[in-house]
Structure 1
Amino acid sequence: MARNDLAELAAFVTIAEERSFTRAAVKLGVSQSSLSHSMRGLEGRLGVQLLARTTRSVSATAAGTALLQELGPALERIGEAVAETMKQRKRLAGRIRLIIPRTATEMVLLPKLARFARNYPEIVLEVTSSNDPVDLIAGEYDAGIQLGEFIQRDMIAVPVTGEMRLAVVGSPAYFESNPIPRQPQNLKDHACIGFRFSNELYRWEFEKGRRTLTVSPQGPVSFDDPDLVIRAVLDGVGIGTAMEETLKKMIAQKRLVQVLRDWCPPFPGYFLYYPSRRNQPAALAALIQTLRLSE
């Protein structure tokens, strides 16, 4: 089927129903000459005459009548499908595909998930956990959550957390046999548990006043899951890093010892991001409103 065939077939149905090019042109909002040209083109491509024309009337030929019998139900189904699709803009229902780091899932989504599910029972969230930045369009995701520095500039980004801070931690047992590092340079003498981000080892960035330092962690193991990094830290394998917010309870319970805090300034936290504000589905708008950081 050629690109314009569907529009021309729909126009043919209108002409046959109105039995007039003039009335059909008014109904379709096009010129009579344009409509007549389209029908000649359609008949030429099909190789049959669909409409019998006189100066006083228009009627479907036998071939046209046979085509109308098939087109009517087909165009009705297409119209219903289009109408159903248009409802998605206003209907608080449907599926939303999200890609989120596990840490953000625990910090941002899970605390509000029960309320969201109660308020919008017809919306289904399909959540994929990934620490790596992704192309939402290529991955066929509706939205994602990621640290602001890793979000592409052409995305719409909505804050879902306040400022965050990286925490450098070790277990009490580890520090019983190893000195507490007082500055980032001391980390070269420690077993540092690495975190792999986008298949690359994440480099620990430190800042104090005007001084900045970057350390590549050297140690016995690295993970692509921040929870496993902390599990290894708790077992005394070495020093690791994670978001301070996720470790506050363990630090307060003295299961972890935080070090170098004065070298770890706060930075912008997580943002929910998506491609465009235009024609935004109501379901996605509801999720954004639920997760958006309160002023």
Structure 2
Amino acid sequence: MKQNFTVRQGTLDGVEAFLRVAQYRSFRRAAAELGVTPSAISQAVRALEARVGAALFIRTTRSVGLTEAGARFLSRAKPAFEELVAASEVARDLGQRPTGLLRLTVPRAVVPILLEPLIASFCKAYPEVEVEIAAGEELVDLAAKGFDAGVRMGQFIATDMVAVRLTPPFPFVVVGSPDYLSRHGRPERIDDLRQHACLRIRRSNGSIAPWSLVDGNKTVEAIVSGPLIAHDFPTMLGAAVEGMGLAQVPAPIATSLVKTGKLVQVLKSFAPMAPGVFLYYPSRHQTMPKLRAFIDHVKGRQVAAGKTRVHVDDKRTRGTKTR
């Protein structure tokens, strides 16, 4: 059954006119304040009285006073109207300049290597914007959960999202600790993984992700096994450092550990490429100044850093939702 609105249409019509007349006890002064004619103010008040069902003013040729109904209406309407005006000003302020709370949902792995330096410089540049980072692997509905934007690898972003590139494409690498490799040997072919402890990750939909590799032009999904199932890449990477087994992770999060010798990359020729990491959000038309400022800041830092022609323009990713 169709229900009526709680506030009937037109209920607020004439309220501002009433408040101005009550303030000045004059229809003429109220009209001058609002920039309309006294006749327009009088008509607005009469229409309000008709809807309320009671006279709100006592009018004589010399003065204007409030009736008891008018006094009671004033005591409740004035603070309520002032709150509405204040609410409009707050919303207008958020829509005109970068301010307020910017909420981002991001994977744990990208926080230390990508977001920490970016957020630090952004907060310095825009002190009126507060940034909240919710780190987790689950793909959330941005609008339903109240997030302004998210950060994910391109293949996990829905095609109806607007995306801004944060990194170039990168490989998914297989790594193991020197200790593990000295005990179990280095795999040379994809089939060799059957004899190795392979650390795995559980997707947000509950399934355990196979390892994806490439053999020439062919993509191979290897069903592997091992002692640990993690819910995020940093946990799996830490287990690999401790010698628990091999891990397949995004190359950027393993780079420093490979350089310091804590991990060794294997099966290099079989590493598949990922499209990279993107900032994504629902619509250009709904972009608030705080998010637009963050997007511009991302682009500005990429240009300033002299990235090798990374495309930082808005684009629509064409990855499939696999997670």
What is the TM-score of this pair, normalised by structure 2?
0.76
Of stretches 187-196 and 172-181 in structure 1, the one that deviates more from structure 2 is 172-181
Q: Are residues 1:229 and 2:233 paired?
A: no
Answer yes or no: is the 8 Å Cα contact 2:187–2:267 preserved in 1. yes
- In the TM superposition, residue 87 of structure 1 has moved relative to its aligned partner by 0.8
Structure 1: stretches of 5+ with no match in the other structure:
none
SS at match of 2:192: helix
Q: Which amino acid aligns with 1:84?
A: V
Measure the CA separation in 1 of the matches of 2:199 and 2:79: 65
Measure the CA separation in 2 of the matches of 1:164 and 1:11: 63
Q: Are residues 1:200 and 2:207 paired?
A: yes
For residues 174-225 of structure 1, what are the alpha-carbon distances to aligned partners after superposition, in whole Å with 9 as ceiling and x for unaligned? 2223232222222122111111220321221112332111013311111113
Measure the CA separation in 2 of the matches of 1:3 and 1:98: 37
Of stretches 143-152 and 86-95 in structure 1, the one that deviates more from structure 2 is 86-95
For residues 211-269 of structure 1, what are the alpha-carbon distances to aligned partners after superposition, in whole Å with 9 as ceiling and x for unaligned? 11101331111111322212221222111111111212222233212112211232211
Structure 2: stretches of 5+ with no match in the other structure:
1-5, 304-309, 311-323
Match of 1:262 in 2: 269
Measure the CA separation in 2 of the matches of 1:74 and 1:221: 58
Go from structure 1 to structure 2 and tell me whether the alpha carbon gap of 1:179 and 1:279 turns closer, same or farther (over 3 Å shift).
Answer: closer
Q: Which amino acid aligns with 1:2?
A: V
Q: Are residues 1:178 and 2:194 paired?
A: no
Measure the CA separation in 1 of the matches of 2:76 and 2:181: 80
Which residues in structure 2 correspond to 1:1-295 (within 5 Å)? 1-4=6-9, 5-10=11-16, 12-13=18-19, 19=27, 40=47, 43=49, 45-50=51-56, 62=67, 63-64=69-70, 66-68=72-74, 70-198=76-204, 199-292=206-299, 293-294=302-303, 295=310
- In the TM superposition, residue 128 of structure 1 has moved relative to its aligned partner by 0.8
What is the TM-score of this pair, normalised by structure 1?
0.83
Answer yes or no: is the 8 Å Cα contact 2:98–2:126 preserved in 1. yes
Go from structure 1 to structure 2 and tell me whether the alpha carbon gap of 1:70 and 1:261 turns closer, same or farther (over 3 Å shift).
Answer: same
Q: Which amino acid aligns with 2:85?
A: G
Q: Which amino acid aligns with 1:186?
A: D
Measure the CA separation in 1 of the matches of 2:244 and 2:137: 23
SS at match of 2:182: helix
Q: Which amino acid aligns with 1:97?
A: R
Go from structure 1 to structure 2 and tell me whether the alpha carbon gap of 1:181 and 1:38 turns closer, same or farther (over 3 Å shift).
Answer: farther
Go from structure 1 to structure 2 and tell me whether the alpha carbon gap of 1:151 and 1:10 turns closer, same or farther (over 3 Å shift).
Answer: farther
Measure the CA separation in 1 of the matches of 2:118 and 2:133: 14
Q: Which amino acid aligns with 2:94?
A: Q
Q: Which amino acid aligns with 1:148?
A: G
Measure the CA separation in 1 of the matches of 2:225 and 2:133: 33
Q: Which amino acid aligns with 1:87?
A: D
State the aligned residue count.
287
Measure the CA separation in 2 of the matches of 1:132 and 1:276: 21
Answer yes or no: is the 8 Å Cα contact 2:175–2:263 preserved in 1. yes
SS at match of 1:218: coil
Measure the CA separation in 1 of the matches of 2:17 and 2:56: 12
For residues 17-55 of structure 1, what are the alpha-carbon distances to aligned partners after superposition, in whole Å with 9 as ceiling and x for unaligned? 8848xx79x968xxx7xx969965x5455332346899x
Go from structure 1 to structure 2 and tell me whether the alpha carbon gap of 1:242 and 1:7 turns closer, same or farther (over 3 Å shift).
Answer: farther
Go from structure 1 to structure 2 and tell me whether the alpha carbon gap of 1:2 and 1:117 turns closer, same or farther (over 3 Å shift).
Answer: closer
Q: Which amino acid aligns with 1:183?
A: R
SS at match of 2:256: helix
Answer yes or no: is the 8 Å Cα contact 1:89–1:279 preserved in 2. no
